[in-house]
Structures are given as structure tokens and as C-alpha cells.
Amino acid sequence: MTNPTSVTEITDFAETIAREAGELIVREREQNTLRTDYKAQTELVTHADVLADQLITDAIRKRFPGHRILSEETMPDLSQAEHLDTPLWIVDPIDGTVNYAYGHPQVGVSIAYAEMGRVQAGVVHAPFAGETFRGTRGDGATLNGKVIQHSGATELRQSLFATGFPYTKDNLEPLVKRLDAMIHQCRDLRRIGSAALDICWVACGRLDIYYENVSPWDFAAARLIALEAGATAGHFSDVPDGYPADLWGRDILISAPDIWQGARELLRSASGYA
């Protein structure tokens, strides 16, 4: 197989390895006793996370030996996102590890590909649901091959939103203030447990709004999918100068276009931002 010459071919490659990783993690949960551990004393990780990460990163290294990889499990060096000279792959082998460990189906394999800090291709594969979301910059977004689009929501009051919470619980007050503001101004909250799927659900209209503080591997692929589905993606605080917005996960906000500004103002106010 020769090197891909188009971003569409790169997306095809990402989908292939995401599906292979999905088969692995399903097999690991169904056939083996689940082995778990903790990283940084708080964040759950399973043996399947590591195996799937190795499968994906080995495939990328073999296919693209000159590319860099930012991966949650084996290469979580966020400074990789600051070096824009060579292409970068952003990988989360199991987004929703706690769901996975508890037997919940909301689990996604997330793979993104970026050039010069801008994500060009993204795939989120949900193996237990049998759903594959994919997006290629400028070419739209699909779910299992069918074109998807955001919900078209026009009123915050009638909007369904999703968010998440960190593993560490030592600074929850700002998050609780945001949640309080949103729950009083929106229809309701859904807590799915996978940022990648939260965002993909905004992309296909199952949710109207998503906001959270997350790492690049949690959202990079899904953010592009949402953008290609016509959603608006940005932040409700400032992105540092020189840092690629596509990979900056603090105060991320993704929603149907007509409610994005209203949600941003609400979240900024609740956060005490000027």
C-alpha cells in the first residue's frame, strides 16, 4: 500500500484502525477478566486501553514513520500539540474508560490527524453501539456512511446539553457554577461519560450543546466531525497566543450555531470572565 495522497485516504486509514481497535476492546471486555489500574492515583485505566493504544500507534508508525503521535495512554505529552512542523496524530484508544469498566456502551475510539495544528481528519468509532462517525475537512461528516447535521436548535431554553467532570475533585466550584447556570437556562442535562461521543452527538443532533475542559485526545476528532456537520465550535475563554485552537481543550464549547453565542455568554458569566 502506497502512502495516501489525500486527506480522504487518511480518514479511511483512521477508520480502519479505529474499527480494529474497537474489535479488540469489545473482545477484551467479553472474553477476559477486566484488568484495571490507576494513573496519577485517580484516573482509571484498563489493560484494554494499553492494548488498543499499542495497536493504533503501531499501525501509524508503520504507515507514517515520519509523523508524530499524541496518545493518551503511551505518549500523553501535550507539548506535541505545540510543534507544528510535522503531521500529528491525536489518539484516545478508549474514550469513556469508566463506562467501559462498568459495562456501559458509551465508549469511543477517537483518532484525529492534524497538519500545522489544524485537524484535517477525524474518526470516532463506538464499537458497542456499532456506530462510526467520521469527518474530513471540507468534505462533511457522516455516521455509518450517512451524512449528519446538527440539531438546528434556536433557543437555549429548549436545548439539551452535555458536559463532564474531572477525576480530581479539588476545584469543582467553577464547574458547579456553570452547571447551575446551564441547568436553569436549558431544557436538561445528559451525562454520557465520553467527550468524543458527546461531541459526535451534537454533530448528529442528539444533543444541542456540549462544553467541558478536556485534553486534545478527548475532542480533536469529534470537534472536526461537529464542524463538518455544521455545528459551531470554539471556546468561552481565550485561547493562548500561538496555541492551535483545534487542540486547545480548556473551556471548549460546541453547539448548534444559533445558540452558540448565548451559551458562550452564559458560561462566561458563570465563570466570572470579564
- Is the pLDDT reported for residue 89 higher than 60? yes
Q: How many domains does the chain have?
A: 2
At 30, is the pLDDT very low, low, confident or very high (cuts 50, 70, 90)? Answer: confident
Q: Are residues 178 and 252 in the same domain?
A: yes
| Residue 1 is assigned to a structural domain of this protein | no
Question: Are residues 83 and 193 in contact, defined by beta-carbon separation less than 8 angstroms?
Answer: no
Report d(CA 271, CA 165) in Å as an integer: 15
- Choose between 2 and 207: higher pLDDT: 207
For residue 7, with 0-12 CB atoms within 10 Å meaning exposed, 13-18 middle and 19 or more buried, which class applies?
middle
Q: Are residues 143 and 181 in the same domain?
A: no
- Choose between 144 and 170: higher pLDDT: 144
Q: What percent of the chain has pLDDT over 90?
A: 79
Report the CATH number that the domain containing residue 57 is assigned in CATH.
3.30.540.10
Q: Are residues 49 and 111 in the same domain?
A: yes
**The pLDDT of residue 2:** 45
Q: What is the largest CA-CA distance in the chain?
A: 54
Paired sense of beta strands 131-136 and 43-46, if any? unpaired
**The pLDDT of residue 35:** 59
Q: Domain range spanning residue 80?
A: 7-147
- Is the pLDDT reported for residue 73 higher than 80? no
| Residue 37 is assigned to a structural domain of this protein | yes
Q: Are residues 111 and 160 in the same domain?
A: no
For residue 193 the three cell numbers come to 461519560
Q: Are residues 12 and 126 in the same domain?
A: yes
| Residue 105 is assigned to a structural domain of this protein | yes
Q: Are residues 124 and 182 in the same domain?
A: no
| Mean pLDDT of the region 85-97 | 94
**The pLDDT of residue 168:** 78
- Is the pLDDT reported for residue 44 higher than 90? no
- Choose between 47 and 225: higher pLDDT: 225
| Residue 170 is assigned to a structural domain of this protein | yes
Report the CATH number that the domain containing residue 259 is assigned in CATH.
3.40.190.80
| Mean pLDDT of the region 8-23 | 97
Residue that terminates a domain, selected from 115, 147, 179: 147
What is the DSSP secondary-structure string of the chain? -PPP-SHHHHHHHHHHHHHHHHHHHHHHHHHSPPPEEEETTTEEEEHHHHHHHHHHHHHHHHH-TT-EEEETTTB--GGGGG--SS-EEEEEEEE-HHHHHHT-S--EEEEEEEETTEEEEEEEEETTTTEEEEEETTS-EEETTEE--------GGG-EEE----S--TT-HHHHHHHHHHHHHSSEEE--S-HHHHHHHHHTTS-SEEEE---HHHHHHHHHHHHHTT-EEEESSPPPTTS-GGG--TTEEEE-HHHHHHHHHHHHHHHT--
Residue that terminates a domain, selected from 80, 115, 147: 147
Q: Are residues 120 and 175 in the same domain?
A: no
| Residue 24 is assigned to a structural domain of this protein | yes
| Mean pLDDT of the region 61-90 | 83
Average model confidence (pLDDT) across the chain: 91
| Residue 2 is assigned to a structural domain of this protein | no
| Mean pLDDT of the region 164-186 | 91
Question: Are residues 111 and 123 in contact, defined by beta-carbon separation less than 8 angstroms?
Answer: yes
Q: Are residues 179 and 220 in the same domain?
A: yes
At 169, is the pLDDT very low, low, confident or very high (cuts 50, 70, 90)? Answer: confident
**The pLDDT of residue 5:** 57
Q: Please write the tens of the pLDDT for every residue from 104-134.
A: 999 999 999 999 999 999 999 999 999 999 9
| Mean pLDDT of the region 27-43 | 65
Q: Are residues 109 and 29 in the same domain?
A: yes
Q: Are residues 19 and 67 in the same domain?
A: yes
**The pLDDT of residue 37:** 59
Residue that terminates a domain, selected from 123, 147, 171: 147
**The pLDDT of residue 29:** 86
At 1, is the pLDDT very low, low, confident or very high (cuts 50, 70, 90)? Answer: very low
| Residue 165 is assigned to a structural domain of this protein | yes
**The pLDDT of residue 85:** 83
**The pLDDT of residue 36:** 56
Q: Please write the tens of the pLDDT for every residue from 204-254.
A: 999 999 999 999 999 999 999 999 999 999 999 999 998 999 999 999 999
Paired sense of beta strands 68-71 and 88-95, if any? parallel
| Residue 114 is assigned to a structural domain of this protein | yes
CA 197 to chain centre: 7
**The pLDDT of residue 208:** 98
Q: Are residues 141 and 172 in the same domain?
A: no
Q: Are residues 12 and 142 in the same domain?
A: yes
Residue type, 59: A
